[in-house]
């Protein structure tokens, strides 16, 4: 028995010692749209990190702007490179690549608003480098999607897309995430650097959530989200788990509406729903020359209501289809970014004086169901004075905004779309 146990222990030791150590693969996606010193520092950090990795490990460097591979860092599994103390030898073996990367860095130049296409970068890596195999992908640069050819889809200045863009086909959405395994095996680490938003702000929260969904719907995971490369490398060394999965939708609403949300900066002013309400009447003169006008709707159900505002008979309608005009803009207000609660708050702020007698306000039940209709609050603010009224949309389900234009043009409301006269919200002095 003793002889058997000894033999077994020797066999187990043999298996353990001969078990293969699987190589680890990396991708570093770099952008030239930042200062040379920043890119040089990124290259130095990456090379230093890679020289300490295991024999057989590889790292592909990618020009994220032009989707061109800059080269591959490798540690051969032969003497002297398989000795972890031979850092200089490992660097010398990859010196040509290091020089190429430093040349890339010197050609970089900072731009105020870098163009960014994270979807294309990740798709390229999935199709040409990882091909479904396990890999750590480090994306360095702006995460705010921006294509100068289609600025309406930009994520800059508080904008971000609705989830419907993830479910739409590629010919309708650059954010299409319908290929279930396109990013399989990817652990994505995003270092957004000196971005246009600060960590923890509502815009950061919603953009991060959107990219998590884009990655996870296609088989990958988002494992790091930080503004510096050192945090990403530390997470890799510590085998950081994927970030907690985000909510799959906002407040349970499922909709196919392709919408770009705009989060109103909190520094501007309080949300209408945080301001005291007045019942002080306005004069007809004030009504006809209203200044600093804001209209806000709020509702509490897993439904999607849309606010449509036409400032004058000749004006453009402001809505999710046309969020910004010469006369005003549609915002998404929020109370708590961590709750990811967007539905229930829509605001139109007008930047020109308007005649409230000629102002058209329409509220449409776009999506969702509620048997007894949808109650909602509307607030109208004029020169800082805020007025409140409550209405109910009678339709039990949404109609996708099908009759909004007809209702606005005809002046005849429907069960799906109500017309609200500002004079029914604001008391008028006799």
- Output the domain CATH number for residue 59: 3.40.50
Q: Is residue 173 part of a domain?
A: yes
User: What Å distances lie between residue 5 and 14, 15, 16, 18, CA to CA?
Assistant: 14, 15, 16, 20
Beta-bridge mates of residue 418 = 363
- Evaluate if residue 250 carries a pLDDT over 90: no
Asked if residue 175 is part of any domain, the answer here is yes
Rounded to two decimals, the pTM is 0.82
275 with 403, same domain: the answer is yes
The answer as to whether 248 is a domain residue is: no
Residue 9: inside a domain, yes or no? no
Quick one: 202 and 106 in the same domain? yes
Q: When comparing pLDDT for 304 and 386, which is higher?
A: 386
pLDDT digits (tens, 9 = 90+) for 19-39: 345 689 999 999 999 999 999
Q: Is residue 153 part of a domain?
A: yes
Shared domain check, 164 and 109: yes
Q: Domain count for the chain, please give it.
A: 2
Question: Which of 216, 237, 258 is the endpoint of a domain?
Answer: 237
Answer yes or no: do 359 and 401 share one domain.
Answer: yes
Q: pLDDT at residue 180 above 70?
A: yes
Q: What pLDDT was estimated at residue 149? A: 86
Range of the domain at 186: 25-237
* Residue 348 sits in the same domain as residue 278: yes
Say how many residues make up the chain.
430
Pull the structure tokens for residue 129: 């480098």
Q: Cα separations (Å) of 34 from 65, 108, 157?
A: 11, 6, 19
% of the chain residues with pLDDT over 90:
71
332-373 pLDDT, tens per residue?
755 444 444 554 578 999 999 999 999 999 999 999 899 989
Query: Is 409 part of a structural domain of the chain?
Result: yes
Q: Are residues 227 and 274 in the same domain?
A: no
My answer on whether 233 and 278 are in the same domain is: no
- Residues 386 and 312 both lie in one domain: yes
Q: Does residue 243 fall inside a structural domain?
A: no
In the predicted structure, residue 406 carries a pLDDT above the cut 50: yes
36 and 163 both lie in a single domain = yes
pLDDT for the residue 261: 87
Judgement on whether residues 83 and 212 belong to the same structural domain of the protein? yes
CA distances to 23, 62, 74 from 26, rounded to whole Å, are 10, 11, 10
Mean pLDDT of the chain: 88
In the numeric block, the tokens 């139109």 are attached to 348
Residue 79 belongs to some domain of the structure: yes
Q: What is the pLDDT of residue 335?
A: 41
The rounded Cα 286 to chain-centroid distance in angstroms is 41
Note whether 233 and 283 are same-domain residues: no
| 274 plus 204 within the same structural domain | no
- 228-240 average pLDDT score: 95
């Amino acid at each position: 028995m003793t002889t058997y146990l000894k033999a077994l222990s020797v066999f187990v030791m043999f298996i353990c010692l001969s078990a293969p150590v699987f190589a680890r693969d990396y991708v570093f996606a770099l952008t030239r749209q930042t200062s040379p010193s920043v890119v040089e520092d990124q290259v130095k950090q990456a090379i230093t990190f890679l020289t300490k990795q295991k024999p057989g490990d590889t790292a592909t460097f990618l020009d994220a702007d032009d989707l061109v591979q800059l080269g591959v860092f490798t540690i051969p599994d032969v003497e002297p490179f398989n000795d972890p103390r031979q850092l200089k030898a490992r660097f010398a073996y990859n010196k040509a690549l290091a020089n190429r990367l430093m040349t890339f860095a010197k050609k970089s130049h900072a731009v105020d608003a870098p163009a960014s296409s994270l979807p294309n970068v990740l798709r390229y890596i999935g199709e040409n480098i990882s091909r479904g195999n396990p890999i750590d992908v480090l994306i360095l640069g702006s995460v705010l999607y921006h294509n100068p050819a289609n600025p309406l889809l930009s994520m800059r200045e508080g904008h971000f897309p609705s989830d419907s863009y993830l479910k739409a086909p590629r010919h309708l959405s650059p954010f299409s995430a319908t290929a279930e395994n396109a990013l399989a095996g990817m652990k994505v680490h995003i270092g957004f650097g000196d971005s246009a938003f600060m960590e923890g702000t509502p815009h950061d929260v919603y953009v991060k959530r959107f990219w998590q969904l884009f990655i996870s719907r296609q088989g990958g995971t988002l494992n790091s989200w930080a503004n510096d490369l050192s945090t990403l490398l530390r997470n890799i060394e510590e085998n950081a788990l994927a970030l907690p999965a985000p909510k799959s939708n906002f407040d349970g609403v499922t909709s196919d509406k392709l919408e770009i949300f705009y989060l109103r900066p909190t520094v501007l002013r309080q949300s209408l729903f945080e301001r005291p309400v007045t019942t002080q009447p306005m004069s007809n003169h004030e009504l006809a020359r209203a200044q600093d006008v804001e209209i806000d709707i709020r509702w509490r159900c897993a439904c999607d209501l849309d606010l449509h505002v036409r400032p004058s008979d000749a004006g453009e309608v402001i809505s999710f289809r046309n969020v910004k005009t010469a006369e005003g803009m549609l915002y998404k207000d929020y109370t708590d970014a961590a709750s990811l609660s967007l539905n229930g708050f829509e605001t139109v702020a007008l930047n020109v004086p308007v005649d409230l007698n000629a102002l058209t306000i329409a509220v449409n039940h776009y999506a969702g169901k509620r048997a007894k209709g949808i109650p909602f609050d509307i607030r109208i603010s004029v020169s800082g004075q805020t007025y409140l009224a409550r209405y109910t949309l009678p339709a039990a389900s949404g109609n996708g905004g099908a009759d909004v234009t007809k209702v606005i043009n005809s002046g005849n409301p429907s069960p799906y779309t109500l017309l609200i006269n500002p004079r029914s919200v604001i008391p008028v002095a006799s």
